[in-house]
Amino acid sequence: MKFAVKAWSNGGARAGILHLGTSTIDTPSLLLSTRKGLPHFISPDLLSCLPSPESRLLHVSPLHFLEGLSMKTISKIGGLHQLLGLHDHCFVSVPRDSIQCLPEANSTNKIGASFETPCGRLLIKPVEYMEMISSTRPELWATLADEVPAWVSDKRNKTSVDRTIKWLDECISLSPASGAVFGAIVGGSSLEERRRCAQEVATRNVSGYWVGGLGLGESMDERPALLNAVIEALPEEKPRLICGLGLPEEILQGIAAGVDLFESTYIYHLTLGGFALTFPLDRTQINALNLAPSDVGSDPRKINLRATVFRKDTMPIVEGCTCYTCRNHTRAYINHLLNVHEMLAQILLEMFFPVDKGSYQCRPI
Amino acid sequence: MNWPRALLTDSGGFQMVSLLHLADITEKGVTFQSPVDGKPMLLTPEESIQIQNKIGADIIMALDDVVKTTITGPRIEEAMHRTLRWIDRCIAAHKRPHDQNLFGIVQGGLDPVLRDICVRGLVDRNLPGYAIGGLAGGEDKDSFWRVVAQCTATLPEDKPRYVMGVGYPLDIVVCSALGADMYDCVYPTRTARFGTAIVPEGVLKLKHKAMAEDTRPIDPTCACMVCKNYTRAYIHSLVTKDAMGSQLLSFHNLYYMMQLSRNLHSSIVQGKFPEFVCNFLQKMFPKGDIPEWVCNAMEVAEIDISSCCAPFRYIQATKVQSNLNEDEIQAV
């Protein structure tokens, strides 16, 4: 893995280039969420319709495979690339998946991190986690962390930082030859603990940093300070990855603070809801959206394609958008698919998002 | 839909009868409960054709009076005659005969006399193509193939024969041997959603625990995207839990069926159809225990499958043609 900052904005935001596997990706960049390694809806043959190389980073939680696929078998098959038949993509492994594998801070103890998963509550020890990393062989992985929500006691928060650092060292010592390691940084909503953790992790031999423990109860107002406390302690030239931010505004907050890579569940939830993101970057584009005044559940950032106002709308979701969905289908068709409960609706919506969100963020700041 | 290839629409008749409550059929049309708001709706032959004209598919189907083959009695005769009266109404209502091909549907249950009347009636109307309907609804296989055989023997040679609702690969091979050309079925995708893959040997249940460690592809002889890229173990981890499992299995199953069609076509063109059939049956019935109805149908289709039948089984089949009793057969 190689990373270099290409340009700086006035504040902490920066544009960079990430070389990972066979891909060269401009940052800031959004990772695609996956379930057992493949997107929730987009079938593998359609992945090539997404813009490349922006869409080549896939977030994989190794915990997903605990439901029905042993690490031994994955190893035998040859790791994620072989398992998933995706050879042009890069895998970023983070245990937490904000949709289905949420950290369960009350059950985490000194032995391992607890997660609430579809196969129940699981306690993952560092050595088990590293076995998953060795079997799946992602290009990039984050160390195991003790993520706590914003409302825990100071004592619990401090413990989470101590544990996360201890597990970081354990993971690094067990780390396989290949794959870039990102050190996990936690600290809840305490500026002090965030700073302390970041300073400790900054001294470790890692390729980048994963900022964890956010999106677990802290408010958007608190976040910039927390992010700054972390980022200030980190070297500039190494990339930063964050999970758990959702709304575009939150992502922009992250970018402003100096984060380079994002994993967000926002797209997944919007897709399920039948929404399409349409936020423009400037005022002229707002006018071009051509929204009817009585839109149900819509605002300048997104449209609700279930709304009856779209039944006969033969425009693409966003006029001029060059994604597969907009080049081939209309709002009316997606509205129909949603009404008859056809999965193609979700496929088309999921395909629409990454282009829009990713490309807006890859523009020079 | 932005679909650049061929399209076929059904009349809506079957779906109404099979999927909805309170379907009441009269001479006017079919009254059913609207799936949108529950209010009673009437679908007439005229309306069905009008809707199909608007959708614009290349082949459209007449509205027929469908009855389940498991029903007996005068209802079957009534439905057959009504189907013939309705085809005239469909033809009259059809506004786009130059770009949409209206197919008639042969009804008549399992009664060869009724089927014959229906075939003659439809052929008189000189339609672009003919469907064989009212099958694939739970009737026994022996009755099923005989109806298909009778229809293909009497329908025009130079127009397509479409067996509606068929089906399993074996059924398609048999019907093709009997002279049918087109098929439709929910089987490949429905069975995929239940975690079952269609393979040359029959089916493969990916849900099975043994699949969790199986690193082979679903079908090593299949060239589809799924078989080229994924192991049984991975698909096993997805099926019935993640929609992606249904997607991948559906992809394979559909590819399999299309490959089957392609092989049927090219083997006939190359004059190797009997070999293809034997090969197909051998893979599906390696012990030679081919069902009797298949043997009977192939006999009528004049396809020699004796090489893939276990000896005793073949004798069972020829029993149909001869008058040997059980004792005499055992002695052979």
Inter-residue contact B46 to B93 (CB < 8 Å): yes
Inter-residue contact B247 to A43 (CB < 8 Å): yes
- Give residue B118's pLDDT: 97
- Does A36 touch chain B if contact means CB atoms closer than 8 Å? yes
Are residues A103 and A208 both part of a single domain? yes
- A118 CB neighbours in chain B (<8 A) are 241
- Give residue B70's pLDDT: 76
Domain range annotation of chain B: 8-165, 191-306
Are residues A133 and A205 both part of a single domain? yes
State which of A267, A292, A313 marks the end of a domain. Answer: A267
CATH of the domain at A12: 3.20.20.105
My answer on whether omega of the bond before B167 falls inside 30° of 0, hence cis, is yes
Find the residue in A nearest to B3 (Cα).
A328
- Examine residue A360 and state whether it is found in any structural domain, yes or no: no
Nearest to A41 among B2, B233, B243 (CB): B243
The string of pLDDT tens digits covering residues B193-247 is: 999 999 999 999 999 999 999 999 999 999 999 999 999 999 999 998 999 999 9
Give the three-state DSSP class for A165: helix
Res. A362: pLDDT tops 60: no
* Calpha distance B129→B132 (Å, rounded): 10
Are residues A228 and A294 both part of a single domain? no
- Does A167 touch chain B if contact means CB atoms closer than 8 Å? no
User: Within the 90-119 window of chain A, which residues sit less than 8 Å (CB to CB) from chain B?
Assistant: 118
- Examine residue A141 and state whether it is found in any structural domain, yes or no: yes
Q: Are the Cβ atoms of B236 and A41 closer than 8 angstroms?
A: no
Are residues A202 and A227 both part of a single domain? yes
Q: What is the mean pLDDT of chain B?
A: 91
**Interface test with chain A among B37, B235, B236, B244, by most A beta carbons within 10 Å:** B244
- A70 CB neighbours in chain B (<8 A) are 212-213
B184 is catalytic: yes
**Rounded mean pLDDT, B309-321:** 58
Inter-residue contact B309 to B158 (CB < 8 Å): no
- Examine residue A364 and state whether it is found in any structural domain, yes or no: no
Give the three-state DSSP class for B205: strand
Give the domain range for residue A238: 1-267
CATH number belonging to the domain at B8-165, selected among 3.30.465.10, 3.30.1490.20, 1.10.3720.10, 3.20.20.105? 3.20.20.105
Q: Are the Cβ atoms of B237 and A44 closer than 8 angstroms?
A: no
Are residues A289 and A250 both part of a single domain? no
- Identity at B305, one-letter amino acid code: I
- Does B247 touch chain A if contact means CB atoms closer than 8 Å? yes
Complete edge-to-edge strand list for the sheet that includes strand A14-20: A2-8, A14-20, A23-27
Inter-residue contact A304 to A275 (CB < 8 Å): yes
The total number of structural domains in chain A stands at 2
Are residues A206 and A137 both part of a single domain? yes
- Give residue A298's pLDDT: 54
Q: In the structure encoding, which two tokens stand for residue A296, read together?
A: 């149900």
Res. A3: pLDDT tops 70: yes
Res. B81: pLDDT tops 90: yes
Are residues A104 and A62 both part of a single domain? yes
- Give residue A148's pLDDT: 94
Q: Give the pLDDT band of residue B304 (cuts 50, 70, 90).
A: very high
Are residues A10 and A112 both part of a single domain? yes
Distance from CA of A312 to the nearest CA of B (A): 14
**Interface test with chain A among B242, B248, B252, by most A beta carbons within 10 Å:** B242
Residues in Cβ contact with B114 at an 8 Å cutoff, skipping those fewer than 6 apart: B76, B77, B80, B107, B108
Find the residue in B nearest to A38 (Cα).
B244
Give the torsion sign (CA, B313, B319, B322, B327): positive
Distance from CA of B51 to the nearest CA of A (A): 16
**Rounded mean pLDDT, B75-88:** 95
**Rounded mean pLDDT, A69-78:** 94
**Rounded mean pLDDT, A259-275:** 92
Distance from CA of B248 to the nearest CA of A (A): 8
State which of A241, A267, A293 marks the end of a domain. Answer: A267
User: What are the residues facing A17 on neighbouring strands?
Assistant: A4, A26
Inter-residue contact A185 to A208 (CB < 8 Å): no
Q: Any alpha helices (H) in chain A, and if so which ranges?
A: 71-77, 80-84, 126-136, 154-173, 191-202, 223-231, 248-257, 266-273, 283-288, 324-328, 331-339, 344-362
Are residues A245 and A261 both part of a single domain? yes
B214 is catalytic: no
* Calpha distance A33→A269 (Å, rounded): 11
Are residues A280 and A258 both part of a single domain? no
Q: Any alpha helices (H) in A148-257, and if so which ranges?
A: 154-173, 191-202, 223-231, 248-257
Phi, psi of A295 (to 5 degrees): -60, 135
Distance from CA of B99 to the nearest CA of A (A): 24
Res. A111: pLDDT tops 70: yes
Are residues A21 and A141 both part of a single domain? yes
Are residues A263 and A325 both part of a single domain? no
Q: Are the Cβ atoms of B212 and A69 closer than 8 angstroms?
A: yes
Res. B20: pLDDT tops 90: no
Q: What is the CA radius of gyration of chain B?
A: 22
State which of A248, A267, A286 marks the end of a domain. Answer: A267
- Examine residue A358 and state whether it is found in any structural domain, yes or no: no
